[in-house]
Amino acid sequence: MPAADSLQIEERDYYEVLGAEPSASAEQLRVAFREAVLRHHPDIAPSSDVATRRTSTLNRAWAELRDPVRRLHYDRALEGGTAPTLDWPLEPGQQRRPTRRRPRRSPVVEPSPWHQPQWRWVAGFRVPAEVFLAGPTAQERWIVEHHIVGEDWREHTQRYWLRFAARYYAERGRTEDWLGALELMLEQEPPLAEIVDAGLREAYLAAGEELRGAMVVAGIAERHPVDSPNRRWADRELRVLLGEYRDKHVRRGAPAQRAENAELLLNFLESLGLEPSFTDYRAAIVAHRRARNSARATELVERVMRAPVTEPGRWFSLVQVLTESGQLDRASALLAEIARGEHPEALDPRRVANPLRRIATARERLGRARRRGLAATG
């Protein structure tokens, strides 16, 4: 075995050590390193001392080139003729290869299809390295100028493009384009995390398209099991959108339009297989009374009164519904039942906040309703 200081060496750049070209992809570079390690392993090499030193040299080259940033700096040094080299030990009697000098590259060069240090990726878009280094504001400005302005979202199917364009439209108040880009993105069935970040609810609320949004969210909900976190998120978003519709169109507006919107909301919930909430029923009852649809208001009151009471505070809500619907004697009788303790859960302060104050408030509301009724008939 030759002594360590008698080994002949030759200088090789890091790519030559691994047996790869500078244009190699990251995966090609990894394969070259693995093959080189196996080829020069001490257990199979003719000279264990040479193999040990070669393995150490391979590890040094791989440690430098496996890191994308360090590889970028090394490539630039290699192009400029200033890249460091490593001592590659030769087998006894092995001749040195002719020194391979890499000529300095001209400023205009055909880029490699694999390794392109002049570009970086931001939000799915390829941007120049100098723009990338300038920071997020410069990156976004460059993407907008080169990929968004003048483009029609209907001609794109890439989710990353649609996602970026939707945010661009939202910031500029282009609501229809915002919604269109989002809905086209949803056709690609992206993962839920991407849907959550897209801000669907905000888009539909800004457009005043709560029911349209509810239909889209209901479709998303159907893709997930009932008790899954994804389904619970979709159900919450659905209820929020429908609640916004109720507050905008059933609780406000001309009486006839409010009553019509109330029916639309109830029918929409039925089509989705959802039971209207107590708040939905109450808003519909008030809307029909304002529109003088007494029969329909009474029908909805009876539907509410037949439903099982699952929350202690609901007893006070029922008194309020009866009061608002003009059934004052029935409201008074139910309030008396609560005060006598016939519905004990409604008087439990651990389950209902200030039950005695709520009784007093309900009595005052009943008194005002009776006085208004007397004034109207007098």
The verdict on residue 70 lying in a domain is yes
Q: List the single range of 67-81, 223-237, 270-284, 302-316 with lowest mean pLDDT.
A: 67-81
Pairing outcome for strands 119-122 and 9-12: unpaired
For residue 363, pLDDT over 60 is answered with: yes
Convert the pLDDT of each residue in 216-243 to its tens digit: 999 999 988 988 999 999 999 999 999 9
Total-model pTM: 0.64
Same domain, 355 and 295: no
For residue 4, pLDDT over 60 is answered with: no
Same domain, 328 and 272: no
The percentage of residues in the chain with a pLDDT greater than 90, rounded to a whole number, is: 57
Name the domain boundary from 256, 273, 305.
Answer: 305
For residue 125, pLDDT over 60 is answered with: yes
Query: What is the DSSP code (8-state) at residue 19?
Result: T
- What pLDDT is recorded for position 96? 66
Measured CA to CA, the distance from residue 239 to residue 123 in angstroms comes to 31
Measured CA to CA, the distance from residue 188 to residue 353 in angstroms comes to 48
The verdict on residue 131 lying in a domain is no
For residue 372, pLDDT over 90 is answered with: no
Structural domain of 318: 308-378
Mean pLDDT confidence for 143-169: 94
Name the domain boundary from 89, 114, 147.
Answer: 89
Q: How does 266-287 read in b/e, with b if 16+ C-beta sit within 10 Å?
A: bebbeeeebebebebbbbbbbb
Q: Which one, of 326, 325, 308, 317, lies nearest residue 358 by Cα?
A: 317
Query: What residues have CB less than 8 Å from 305, skipping those under 6 apart?
Result: 318, 322
